[in-house]
Structure formats: structure tokens, C-alpha cells
Structure 1
Amino acid sequence: MTQIPSPSGSTVAEAEAFLAAHPEIEAFDIVLHDANGIGRGKIIRRHELLSFYKGGRHLPISILGLDICGEDVHETGLIWDQGDGDLRAWPIPGTLVALHGTRPARGEVFMSMYDLDGAKMTSDPRHALQAQVDALAAEGLYPAGAFELEFFLLANDRGPDGKVQPARDVLDGRASAKTEVYSVDHLHGMLPLFSDIYAAAALAGIKAETMISEYAPGQYELTLHYRADVMQAADDLMRLKRIVRAQARSHGVTACFMAKPVEAYAGSGMHFHVSMLDAAGKNVFVEAVEGQWSDTILHALGGLRATMGESMLVFAPHANSWRRFAAQSYAPVSPTWGVNNRSVALRIPAGDIKARRIEHRPAGVDANPYLVAATVLAGIRHGLTHQIDPGPETTGNGYTGPQDAPPIPVDWRGAIEAATASEFLKFALGEDMHRTFTAIKAAEYARVARTISEVDFDLYLHTV
């Protein structure tokens, strides 16, 4: 294998220092995230880590052309069109961490895909986000942000009706089918699990912050510290999902990141808070007089609003994603914007003027944060470049919706069609990532469409 300098910027010295500091670690998860945000890769032994940092690791190109089930999607052009040859994955600097509570002790490192000559493999979601970050930097702007993580803790077994049910408290086995929104006492029953989540996050260098009992039985929200680097914010979200899933499993419950696992209650979002800094670190969204919005934040809102319809597949990428959107559900149903208003899609939160930001609310927790962030940044760029007016602020009940709102798809199929035809989404993701992502979604739609569900038998077996 020809030795080339690591195109990701990783160094052997980082791996050597980590091994010296952690003599107990015996193996490492090396993780690449695909279009669906699924971690794919290998577990390597301790003695293999240095060679990984010296020369990368060969992986088949098809690893980035898989659907949600891990099946090849030939329409991506990443399977037999390329002879399913190997490319080279390289470790991402700063992502090498120890894992909490593993026996024997293990570590984890994220990686990204490159061609054999070191060029970026542009169907890698991480590269799509980096391209938008780089484009903004060329314009003297530097995005900062954080994601919110909403999730369900479910029992491992289904209920008598065959549906999922909230997990019993890991502390004492107590059961509750109540909403328990914002109940502090309810949180106490999961404290042993939450303590392990916080410990694992701290070990990984993630500042996990507030835990909330959310608006459905078994639903929780965990907030993350705001990052001056949006790529780091996306890494935090990806890693925290892995942490929550692993720690829940170790406590005998299931962490669920479906957007809508329970039909009678609210779904789980992945709200993205984003602001924009200049070269001096000043937040350019801040207005001169509080409440008199700057042209910068208004144009950013205008761009996000104008591009939301053709971008919805990124924010709601799965069949189940579309069950989350319903009136009075805390999930937006039209491209509205407002101030201190949770019924809109684009919210300017209340708070210190210095922390002025946009809360982008359409994405479900099942979305890929790298692609969400790339698309949001591209939408902001579009609005700033074309000085797009976002229209009037929505006040009161945003679910009634303004009549002049740009249309958004009403279902998954419509979102796939809109995304496939979208020149903006090609601009946001890059042509290769756009082709890969939309081909995978089309294949998944076909899989779902040909599946005969229990709903079919319930509605039609004895009636038609």
C-alpha cells in the first residue's frame, strides 16, 4: 500500500499518545457514517491502531451506497459501476476517545472516506458538510451551533397489543404510561442510566447538558453545549446517539431514535441551533437594537424558508419521519418563522441578544446531522447571497400557517421527487452526495411500497 500523508489531518502522534494514556484499552470501533447516519466500519485490535493512523484502512466503496437495511443500492453508482473497489478511510483528528463501561475496555474513532490518491470521496456526508463550512469561510463567515437530542426509552418487549411501550424505571422497575412532561421526579427513576450517559459523554469530550422529560411517555431530551465549530456539533450528536443507545442497552432498555414510534404522542425532533460568526468571532445575527432584526438574520431566514420544501427529504428521510408532522404536535407543518414560538419551523429563541441564533426545527432525530447541517448552511448562504425577504413573522398559532408560505411536500414520495429534481440540494450536498442520497431514498421507498403491512389486512382483508 502506497504511503501518503493523511488527507484528514490525523497524525500518528495522536494515536501514540492515546495508547500511552490508555494501556487498558484492547480494541477500537472505527466508524464511518453513511447517508442514513448509520455507523459502519470495523472493530480493530489495539496493535492495529497505529497502522490505521499511518496508512488508513481499505473499505469497499459500496459501504456508502447502502440502504437502511444494509443492502446495495445500484442506482447510487457506487456498487458495480465502480467494480466495488476499495477506497481508503482515514481517522478524523480529535475523534479518538475511550468508551465508558465496556468490558474489555474499548475505544472509538470516527473516520471519513477518501480516494486512494487522497482526494475526498464526495458521497461521504462529512465531506458534504465540510464543503459548506469551507464555502462560508471563503466569505468570511464561520457557523456555530448545537443539536438537541430527543429520544424514547422503551421496554425491550412489545406490549399485549404488539406496540412499543415505555421502559420501566431502571432504578426500581416502576412503570408509568403518563406524559410526565418536565417532571423532575420522573427523571429520578432513570438516574442510573442518565449518570452513565453523562459519564460516557464526558469521557468522549462531549458537554452533554440538560435532561428533560419530554412530551410523551418514555420520551426524553438531552441538550448539547453550543460549539463554535458546526462539524464538532454534528460529531457530538452522532457520538451521543451511540452513547445513549449503548448505555440504554447495558441497563436493559431500548433507546429509540425513530421520529414517531408512538402514534398518539409527539415525535422526536433534532432541532439545530445555528448562528454565524465573523473572523473576529462576532455573531453577525445580533441586531443593533434588541428586537429590530438585522438584515443578516432576516436574509438567512428567507433562504431557509425558500429552500425548505426541496430540502425536506434531508430533514425527514424515512417513511416513519412523515408521521411526525401534525398540527399541535410541536413539529412544524409549514415553512414559517417567528420569535419565541414553538409552533413555527424557524424560531428565534428568547434570551441574551449576544446569543442570537436560529433554531431550525423541521429535522427529526432520525435524520443525518451532517446532511442537515450542510443543507441548513447552504440555505443560509442562499438567503444571504440573494438577500431574500422571509416575509412577515408568524405570531400566535403557527399551525394555521400563512397563505403565502412556500409549499412543502406532504409525504415521503413527494419529498423524494422534490429532492431529486432540486438544483439547490445539488448545491447543498454536492452532486455525488445528492445522487447517492436520493437514489438510496428511492430504493427505500420502493421497499416500503411493496411491503404488505398489518394495516392492509386490518382495513381490507374482510371488507373489500
Structure 2
Amino acid sequence: MTAPNADEANTFLEQHPEITSIDLLISDLNGVLRGKRVSRENLEKAYTQGINLPASVFALDILGNTVEETGLGLDSGDADRVCRPLPGTLMPTPWRRQGRQAQLLMAMEEADGSGFFAEPRHVLERQLKRLEARRLTPVVAVEMEFYLVDRERAEGGMIQPPRSPVTGERASQSQLYSVNELDEYADFLEAVQAAAEAQQLPLDTMLKECAPGQFEITLKHGPDVLAACDAAVLLKRLIKGVAQHHGFEATFMAKPYGLEAGNGTHVHISLLDDSGDNVFAAADGDVLGSTTLKHAVAGLLEQMPASVALFAPNLNSFRRFQPGLYVPMTPTWGFDNRSVAIRIPSGPNAARRLEHRVAGADANPYLLLAALLAGIEHGIAGELTPPPAVTGNAYDQFAPSLTNSWRQALDLLEESESLREALGQDFLTVFLANRRVERSQAMQEVSQLEIDWYLRHV
């Protein structure tokens, strides 16, 4: 990695004399942003010298505890690595301290200046290089769903939908695509839009999703996959921060309510060749796309069972895989069909793309895209052929086959030779150890439901 030019820092500070501190952020295995806060006087030093963070930042579980089984903790001396700024990510955070704070994404280096092997962003860079070797450039767009939650808890401490800022009534209906609901939450949504503009995040659309208090925000498509994932990670922070400022909480949990729809992350992908032509577009105008698109779909379908651990990274992730709630549970594909795992949206042939619909909103965007690009490269390299495209309701035609077991998902990932080659054995060792220890800790907890069901009756 090349040290970024400190002129970016100095120009930013000149343009923003109100900024007093800057958060230096790095995304861990869970996609949680961690780092340090520095004063404006120390920002130039962060550019010229970097900052030190322990490699064990990528050994942290969701509670922020170091998972020693990863080998990145005390066994290695809990040593530091240098982290350097990612150019173009220094932006104000208008919802923080009356606009007096800013943020900057960092990336961790190995001793030789290359990307740190356990950093999810570096794992994604690895996949981009594999496609670059085939002279292919992915174009992606990310859609993320989230819930607004009332800060006042319901009886028993459970979360509940918010009260409308306009009517004062608590949300209780689905109201998919409701413009009235967008109007009722307009102050919040407009603040998200304004903050995104301030941070140069490429927001595209906002819509009311299919559960009380649930919304979806789409980022514009573009050929810089790393920037797209940077934007997705930063957008999560932005939405949570703006929600707090407006008296709500925002959550990207995969399944915050047991009987309502889960939060998903849908990813649209096409591939461009050296001439800028979309290789997924069929020369004969076939709506199902080119032979290359079919190879890509086949690779994604073949690797899907082993990729579930990256699409569903924690205990709550697997609550989302329930029938009837638009969550694919079988490796399937089809044209303009929202019941399948990989949808080929309608539209002009030149804009042909695939939409991957399996992952939860809790997935790490870098690892999600790394898995998807690895699957696409796998299919193209092997010239794989997908099964017939599905027409009609895939849920009625195919029994669920993707695992809903966290333990089995991790085992399938570990056993996948193609994903081990793509993602790197060293990274997988860290990821699997981290997830298995968190799972072990989760299994030690007894839920209230278990007490209610079994205490007196077994």
C-alpha cells in the first residue's frame, strides 16, 4: 500500500474549520467499525505515518473480546500493525456533535506494506485481482434493509416498532412501498439523504419495506467494488447515527422480530470486458443472459451451500431462513423471479445483471462480495452449466436445502476447496476460529423461551 498524500488532510481541514476530531475507522470480521479518535492536529500524522492497531482487531467477536483461538492474540504477542488512510474516505459526520466530527477509513498493512491477510477488505481485493487476470471488471449495486426500532422497550424488554413522528401511532402494518410511510418518516429519511450527500455516498433509492418500521436503501451501481463496500459499511454507521439523533434505533439484525420479515442484503452484479461491454448481455438478446452469465450463475449456485457461513455470520442470521418471507433457502435461479436465490432482473439486454438474494443485512459487505466474486470466477473458470431456470414459485417446487445450522455452515465452508483457494487458508483459519468460539459462547446461553417451554414439562 502507498501512503496517501497528506494534502488531502490539510485541504479537508481548511475547508472544515469546525471539525475538532476525526474517527479513524477499520471494519472487523463482523463489519463492526473500530479504531481511534484523534484531534484535528494529529490528522496529518495519521496520513504521513499511519496509526498502529493490534492485528487482533480481526480476532474480535461481536462483544469486542479477543478470540485467542484465531492466533492473532497473545500467541503472537498481540502485536501492532500499521493502518493507513483510504484516499477519498475522509468525510464529515454531520449527525455527530453538531457537525464537529469527521471520519476516515483505514486499511491494515503487513510488514512489507501489502494488505493484512485477515482484513476482509483485503480478502475482497484478492478476488478482484482474480477477475482482473481474466480482464473482467465487476459492476455492483448493494441494497440493504433495516428496521427502525422504538427506544422504549415493550413488556419484557423486547423491542417494538416506533411511533410515527406524524400520528404518534405505533407502526403495526406491512405497508410495502407505502409513500405515506415515507412521508411520515420524511425528517429521518431526508437527514439520511443529506448526511449521505455530505459524505459523498452514492444513495440511489429509498423505499418502505414489508414490515412495520422496515425500510430499504439502495446504493448506485458502479465499477469500484471496494468503494461500494466502503459505502455500505459507512452507510450502516450513518443510518444508526441519524436514527439516534431522531430518537430511534436502527438495526441491521437479520431477524429482529420472529414473525416479521428479516433484513437482507441484495447485491446486483454485472461484468465488463476491456471494451466496457457487459459480458452478461446475450448477443441474441436472450433474456436469461449470455453463456458467461450462465457460467457465473452456475458457479454461485455450486458454491452457495459452502458460502452460507459468510452470508449468515451469526446466531440470529439463521432465524431469517423461514418459508414464505422471501428468503431463498435453495440454490435456484430464474428470470425476474423473486422466489429464487439468484434473480435475473428484467430490463435492457445491455444492462443484464444478476441479483443475489440470500445474504442477511448483518453480513460483512466485504466478505459477502468476496464470496460472490469467488463464485462467479469459479463458474467462469470451470465453464459450469446451471440447472434449468425456475419459473413460478420456487418455494413450492424445491424443499429447503441450504443449511439453517450455524455449525454445519462453518463446516461446509471449511471443507470447500474452491473457497479455501479463493479466500486464502490463513484468512479462513481466523474466520472459522472466530465464528466457532462465538457460537460456543452462544450455546451456553439459555433463552426465556426454553425456560417457558421446558422447565416444568420435561
Q: TM-score, normalised by structure 1?
A: 0.96
**Cα offsets for 1:104-125 (capped at 9, x unmatched):** 5111110111123323211000
Matched, 1:277 2:275: no
Identity %: 41
Matched, 1:224 2:219: yes
Moved more, 376-385 or 290-299: 290-299
**Matched residue count:** 456
Shift of 1:422: 2.1
Partner residue, 1:186 = 181
Shift of 1:425: 2.4
Partners of 2:3 and 2:345 lie apart in 1 by 36
- Counterpart amino acid of 1:264? L
**Cα offsets for 1:299-355 (capped at 9, x unmatched):** 000000000001100001111111111222111010000110111000001112221
Contact preservation (8 Å) 2:60, 2:434 = yes
Matched, 1:267 2:223: no
Shift of 1:172: 5.1
Partner residue, 1:462 = 456
Moved more, 374-383 or 99-108: 99-108
Matched, 1:92 2:81: no
Partners of 2:306 and 2:361 lie apart in 1 by 19
Contact preservation (8 Å) 2:289, 2:352 = no
Partners of 2:268 and 2:323 lie apart in 1 by 22
Matched, 1:419 2:413: yes
Partner residue, 2:447 = 453
Contact preservation (8 Å) 1:319, 1:445 = yes
**Cα offsets for 1:275-311 (capped at 9, x unmatched):** 1111121111011122263110000000000000011
- Counterpart amino acid of 1:415? A
Are the structure 2 counterparts of residues 200 and 411 from structure 1 closer, same or farther at C-alpha, using a change threshold of 3 Å? same
Are the structure 2 counterparts of residues 128 and 212 from structure 1 closer, same or farther at C-alpha, using a change threshold of 3 Å? same
Q: What is the DSSP-based 3-state SS (H/G/I as helix, E as strand, rest coil) of the residue aligned with 1:154? A: strand
Partner residue, 1:305 = 301
Matched, 1:79 2:73: yes
- Counterpart amino acid of 1:262? Y
Matched, 1:39 2:39: no
Q: What is the DSSP-based 3-state SS (H/G/I as helix, E as strand, rest coil) of the residue aligned with 1:271? A: strand
Matched, 1:410 2:404: yes
**Cα offsets for 1:111-148 (capped at 9, x unmatched):** 11112332321100000001111121121001110110
Root-mean-square deviation over aligned CA pairs: 1.4
Partners of 1:85 and 1:102 lie apart in 2 by 32
1:379-418 superposed matches below 5 A: 379-402=375-398, 407-418=401-412
Partners of 2:354 and 2:383 lie apart in 1 by 17
Contact preservation (8 Å) 2:138, 2:272 = yes
Q: What is the DSSP-based 3-state SS (H/G/I as helix, E as strand, rest coil) of the residue aligned with 2:334? A: strand
Contact preservation (8 Å) 1:336, 1:346 = yes
**Cα offsets for 1:132-172 (capped at 9, x unmatched):** 11121121001110110100000012212542111112345
Matched, 1:254 2:249: yes
Partner residue, 2:43 = 49
Partners of 1:419 and 1:246 lie apart in 2 by 34
Shift of 1:173: 3.0
Contact preservation (8 Å) 1:8, 1:91 = no
Q: What is the DSSP-based 3-state SS (H/G/I as helix, E as strand, rest coil) of the residue aligned with 1:53? A: helix
Partners of 1:34 and 1:174 lie apart in 2 by 38
**Cα offsets for 1:390-449 (capped at 9, x unmatched):** 11001101113447x9x5323211101111222222223222221111111101110111
Moved more, 100-109 or 370-379: 100-109
- Counterpart amino acid of 1:109? L
Matched, 1:168 2:163: yes
- Counterpart amino acid of 1:23? P
- Counterpart amino acid of 2:92? A
The equivalent position to 1:120 in structure 2, one of 111, 115, 119, is 115
Q: What is the DSSP-based 3-state SS (H/G/I as helix, E as strand, rest coil) of the residue aligned with 1:68? A: coil
Shift of 1:8: 4.5
Q: TM-score, normalised by structure 2?
A: 0.97
Contact preservation (8 Å) 1:171, 1:192 = no
Partners of 1:162 and 1:9 lie apart in 2 by 48
Partners of 2:348 and 2:149 lie apart in 1 by 37
The equivalent position to 1:434 in structure 2, one of 423, 428, 436, is 428
Matched, 1:349 2:345: yes
Matched, 1:157 2:155: no
- Counterpart amino acid of 1:426? R
Partner residue, 2:16 = 22
Contact preservation (8 Å) 1:216, 1:266 = yes
Partners of 1:239 and 1:200 lie apart in 2 by 11
Matched, 1:325 2:321: yes
Partner residue, 1:148 = 143
Partner residue, 1:3 = none
Partners of 2:89 and 2:179 lie apart in 1 by 33
Contact preservation (8 Å) 2:289, 2:349 = no
Shift of 1:9: 4.9
